[in-house]
Chains A and B, each alone.
Chain A
């Protein structure tokens, strides 16, 4: 049978119950629109919130851990080799936190095709001193260009310029919290002293704000060379190597490889941030669950309407079968009926979902801690539209399948005899 004939019959039946058809299609439209708006908004927020934390963390961080030596002198003794040795109160060996041979290691990592970029860092515990006040904190010696590549640090520098760290000698960019407490502005000089007693006067060239008070209250940045100079260390002295990968999911494996190769500790992003992953996963699951529920409810609506339609159109089904339409033809008619509702409602739903997303994306959302964000974040990922329409088609197909099967099994003799 020509498919166009079935479609024509399906459309005529739909036209006969235009009201219900519109309601059924509206159910699908609403379901998909809400699904898309919800998922786009949720993932947009997730990305923003995760970005707050994850942007600041390298995919892999290589460092020297302070820990007791795994091989103790007693283990080397031939005499006690076959003994079970218990040693209490071991003190960690002082190897310093320096990464030895750092230049070679960085060059080797840079050459790895899986790596986007690598940045050195010298982390120093410091006190910021103003008058009689001393604030504890952490000063990172960085290479601004590399840091920018890895973390887009300049996004968070709210006043001043990140590159001034390289152009202005003895300069520092301090966290918003510190600046507020010490009442300093760019151009002022602050005194920084390290835990080892070295002191330096540094010129504030910028203020950085991540939106996380705990970090903004302690964090400051200076040029790597300045940090080395303050501590009286040579130019190769760094404590951290930060690596950005092309494929973030590879971080644990590559981290492990580097740790073994360079005999350093490796912290990968997944290990450092399991809780964020969990949080965003749960948020995604909730939005998917709500969206899918809406679509299933819409599916029940279609199921009901088709069932009613079948009872109402029993005569038409009987005569179609009497005049030679097979059960398969009748089933095809009712499934296409359902799919017409699904496709029409679905496409409208995609449109409405997009419009809702755009509206959400224009709602002002300004908070002090997120200087780069002006409106609610929305993730316009075509994947969600694809999932939405696929799910709508699957739901409507299933919703149509059972009534269609019932229609295909209608016995024309029973109907015609009944009159």
Chain B
């Protein structure tokens, strides 16, 4: 039990517009600590929908969800926000860096919100992450001055700043060319191997999925394997 980071128990989700439609049916799985899991499937199979439920941003579902043994399906929106801040890191297809802040501040932002570490400490942590991802020299630039691959690496650094239990990715390589995709994958694998970081990545890139520890195949809202 202690080794399980994320557990989903028979999750069901419906869309009501324009007609009632079952997007996810009886999704149950577990992710163990330090696992690198990918969720693969064709476009429209519900894998992103699943990720948003797992990420606690979408609360309109049936079923149970546990993060490190903590039940998430009954929490209030404010509690969930705090849990997201502290325990979950995100990388999206689009980088979502805030244009008004420089790279370093963008990385520090979730940490400043958590306020667990002092500002100088956060700064050095953020710089360490950026160094590990090989973008430390961009730290004081504004996001629009960076290339797409660099932005995505900054987004990964931001996801790592609070040492989350799990990092979730929604097509993190979807907007990147082959070279940058490989780079991002390498970073994820390194995180998994070196820091025992649990990762849950949604992708339609079979090549990417095959290289992870475990792949959850989805089709029509169901888990195939």
13 contacts between A and B (CB under 8 A): A5-B112, A320-B109, A322-B92, A323-B90, A323-B110, A323-B158, A324-B85, A328-B78, A411-B57, A416-B52, A416-B92, A416-B94, A416-B96
B82: chain A residues at CB < 8 Å are: 324, 326
Determine whether the beta carbon of B170 is less than 8 Å from that of A324. no
Determine whether the beta carbon of A323 is less than 8 Å from that of B98. no
Known: A5-B112, A319-B96. A326 touches B55 (CB 8 A): no
Given contacts A325-B113, A327-B77, 20 further A-B contacts (CB under 8 A): A1-B113, A12-B101, A16-B99, A315-B98, A316-B99, A316-B100, A319-B98, A323-B85, A324-B82, A324-B83, A324-B85, A324-B86, A325-B85, A326-B78, A326-B81, A328-B78, A329-B113, A416-B96, A417-B48, A419-B93
In the assembly, what is the distance between CA of A97 and CA of B115, in Å? 85
The residue that B58 contacts in the complex, of A15, A316, A328, A413, with Cβ under 8 A, is A413
Determine whether the beta carbon of A2 is less than 8 Å from that of B115. yes
A2: chain B residues at CB < 8 Å are: 112, 115
Determine whether the beta carbon of A419 is less than 8 Å from that of B81. no
Determine whether the beta carbon of B113 is less than 8 Å from that of A324. yes
A411: chain B residues at CB < 8 Å are: 57
Determine whether the beta carbon of B109 is less than 8 Å from that of A13. no
B52: chain A residues at CB < 8 Å are: 413, 416-417
The residue that B57 contacts in the complex, of A5, A413, A419, with Cβ under 8 A, is A413
- A44 in the interface, Cβ–Cβ < 8 Å? no
CB within 8 Å of A: which of B67-98? 77-78, 81-86, 90, 92-94, 96-98
Determine whether the beta carbon of A326 is less than 8 Å from that of B77. yes
Determine whether the beta carbon of A323 is less than 8 Å from that of B100. no
Determine whether the beta carbon of A15 is less than 8 Å from that of B100. yes
In the assembly, what is the distance between CA of A67 and CA of B48, in Å? 97
- A266 in the interface, Cβ–Cβ < 8 Å? no
Nearest chain-A residue to B89 (Cβ)? A323
In the assembly, what is the distance between CA of A417 and CA of B15, in Å? 14
What is the minimal beta-carbon distance from A224 to any residue of chain B, in angstroms?
80
Task: Name the residue in A15, A320, A411, A413 with the highest tally of chain B Cβ atoms < 10 Å from its Cβ.
Answer: A413
CB within 8 Å of B: which of A188-222? none
In the assembly, what is the distance between CA of A322 and CA of B80, in Å? 10
A316: chain B residues at CB < 8 Å are: 96, 98-100
Determine whether the beta carbon of A419 is less than 8 Å from that of B94. yes
A319: chain B residues at CB < 8 Å are: 96-98
Task: Name the residue in B48, B96, B158 with the highest tally of chain A Cβ atoms < 10 Å from its Cβ.
Answer: B96
Nearest chain-A residue to B48 (Cβ)? A417
A residues touching B (Cβ–Cβ < 8 Å)? 1-2, 5, 12-13, 15-16, 315-316, 318-329, 411-413, 416-417, 419
- B114 in the interface, Cβ–Cβ < 8 Å? yes
6 pairs of A and B residues whose beta carbons are closest in the complex:
A324-B85, A326-B81, A12-B100, A319-B96, A323-B110, A324-B84
Determine whether the beta carbon of B113 is less than 8 Å from that of A323. yes
Determine whether the beta carbon of B113 is less than 8 Å from that of A5. yes
In the assembly, what is the distance between CA of A322 and CA of B91, in Å? 10
B98: chain A residues at CB < 8 Å are: 12, 315-316, 319-320
In the assembly, what is the distance between CA of A417 and CA of B57, in Å? 12
In the assembly, what is the distance between CA of A419 and CA of B77, in Å? 24
B110: chain A residues at CB < 8 Å are: 323-324
In the assembly, what is the distance between CA of A416 and CA of B202, in Å? 14
Nearest chain-A residue to B82 (Cβ)? A324
B57: chain A residues at CB < 8 Å are: 321-322, 411-413, 416
Nearest chain-B residue to A415 (Cβ)? B96
In the assembly, what is the distance between CA of A412 and CA of B59, in Å? 12
Nearest chain-B residue to A2 (Cβ)? B115
In the assembly, what is the distance between CA of A325 and CA of B57, in Å? 11
Determine whether the beta carbon of B114 is less than 8 Å from that of A324. yes
Determine whether the beta carbon of A318 is less than 8 Å from that of B100. no
Q: Mark B124-163, 1 if CB is under 8 A from A, else 0.
A: 0000000000000000000000000000000000100000
What is the minimal beta-carbon distance from A343 to any residue of chain B, in angstroms?
21
Determine whether the beta carbon of B158 is less than 8 Å from that of A13. no
What is the minimal beta-carbon distance from A42 to any residue of chain B, in angstroms?
44
In the assembly, what is the distance between CA of A323 and CA of B52, in Å? 13
The residue that B81 contacts in the complex, of A318, A325, A416, with Cβ under 8 A, is A325
What is the minimal beta-carbon distance from A187 to any residue of chain B, in angstroms?
82
B85: chain A residues at CB < 8 Å are: 323-325
